[in-house]
Structure 1
Amino acid sequence: MIVVLKSGTPSEEIKRISNEFDSRKITPEKSAGHHKVVIGLVGDTAEIDLRQILNLSSFIEQVLRVDKPFKRASKEFRYGEPSEVVVATPNEPVTFGQNHPVVIVAGPCSVENEEMILETARVVKAAGAQFLRGGAYKPRTSPYAFQGHGESALGLLALAREATGLGIITEVMDTADLEKVASVADVLQIGARNMQSFSLLQKVGATGKPVLLKRGPAATIEEWLMAAEYILAADNPNVILCERGIRTFDWQYTRNTLDLTAIPVLRTLTHLPIMVDPSHGTGRAEYVPAMSIAAIAAGADSLMIEVHPNPTEALSDGPQSLTLEQYQELIQEIAVISKAVGRWSQTGCVAKIV
């Protein structure tokens, strides 16, 4: 259930209304948008008479029930207004959201060594990226595949952050590693295989740090949003959804099927920002540029692109990684389409376009 307050409602009245719900053992969560203040009510509201809520204050404009199972993630919970996730990076705060420039996240699948991660970080930063991605802990299908360098790789990510000012996005796989990963990462990533690891979602949510939630390879959109609900229910509103491809029948041509229809569908269901990962979504470097451009045209708020100085020698996911040169060329193409839809920063790499 949500309570929509009239524009200009005094803060004292908002507090009084919220206290009234507290006394009824219902949790009020205030969401201040650009035009409205909305109080979301979490708890057993099924038996509450809407007229009783309306009579609480003359400043209450409307009371609506949220009929979806994902309450906090639902679009109605913010009265249709998109949320923003602001991440403090060494250079400046970066905002993920529908009404902001496209945020570029780039880097290798795995952190392999100091030279490689620093070279990659400097190139992606120069081309306009705001975040460096790189796996310290890697979930792999085979127990014999490279699993990442773990804690030592976190140290290299911290070094790259200090050298370039890029924000860091890296995956946390286990609650036992959460504190170490959170000490380095500006955004904690929940990988596709852990999308429904509910205890992990709860503990990651409790850190208060921004969380990037990747869609599971066989997850429905509702299951994905219910996973986001676990993080939001931990009193952490900073969730970014990441579409990274789902499993279909054409596995012989692409690693996954990138579900770009998820973008407009999510826009009708949730207020949360949307990222697209065309690298995992296709598994083939040659398809990444087309899917990156298509994702922006469809309304994505951010892109995550795998980049490696020498993909043929990468310890993981080489076939889907762009070279540094290919990445620089792609960014110029991305800038063109992003400018066309009004989603490109005036700083960035627009000046490189000729």
Structure 2
Amino acid sequence: MAKVLMKGNEALAEAAIRAGCRYFFGYPITPQNEIPHYLSKRLPEVGGVFVQAESEIAAINMVYGAAGCGARVMTSSSSPGISLKMEGITYIAGAELPCVIVNMQRGGPGLGSIQPAQSDYFQAVKGGGHGDYKMLVLAPATIQEMVDLMGKAFGLADEYRNPVMILGDGILGQMMEAVEFPEQEDLGRLPVKSWATTGAKGRAPNLINSLFLDPQELEKHNHHLQRKYDRMAKEMLWENYKTDGAEIVLVGYGSSARIAKAAVDKARAEGIKAGLFRPISLFPFPKPALQAACTQAKHVLTVEMSMGQLVEDVRYNLEFKVPVHFYGRAGGMVPTTRAVLEEVRRIVNSGLGGGQA
């Protein structure tokens, strides 16, 4: 199939349709508005349903209802909008319903700005809502990867009966790249969802619920969910770039990883043995792969569009055996290749022995 030039948000929306998504509920917020705009036109063309809800809270509860009926359903928003959805997301996780949630991050806290950021990492991977729950979190770095991961996201949601988040940012949503789309998913081959509330047609009624008034029953449910989250460890995804023999390994995801990769190339041209480790799955975090990539590293540097969130997980997963430094920009400011390269030079040439906060 020929490649087409598309904006990230629109390519992601088209990929969702090709992955079998037929229901979308959302509410406008910059910088993800092209997703609902595109789906408002395309979904009716394929027999799907688009609803612009009265709020983010209403939208996520509509997702709950459609997912409970067994539909492939999606919502999208940006940072403060995702915050408003958090109660519904924890209900969905508690009720074990599959759906895909897209977050095109912007600056914060509060209303912040409409510029790109990566300060929702904690919210995504630690559980921004209440209770012990997890989402599978995938972080693409290119528009093609957003397209490719969309089908995987719906498949993982169905396999684990769990919400899956695509964690992007305003850069990925607004930039344009050439992409190639997969073939349309055969909707007849989607998994049978015997648990769905499709009407008790000759069978006992199904009950979908996240309320357990008996504490013993709720504890049992929590243990059941944790076993499922443990099984998700097999879904770890990552990319190594020039990490063989690297003495300083940069770690970044999404747009920051693209910038870090360019800095690695320039560092290598100067004789600095630099490499890049890019986690694609943020939950589950690819701990064994990160440790393997850093076996010869004297230093690790995380590159983020935040005040330092990914850096905490990198330090933890490396078990504090390697000095982990941090370089970040916040509030919608984007790191430059030159600035990252200067930080690499500073670390390598100064002989720093301790992690930098």
Instruction: Calculate the TM-score normalised by the size of structure 2.
Output: 0.29
Instruction: Calculate the TM-score normalised by the size of structure 1.
Output: 0.29
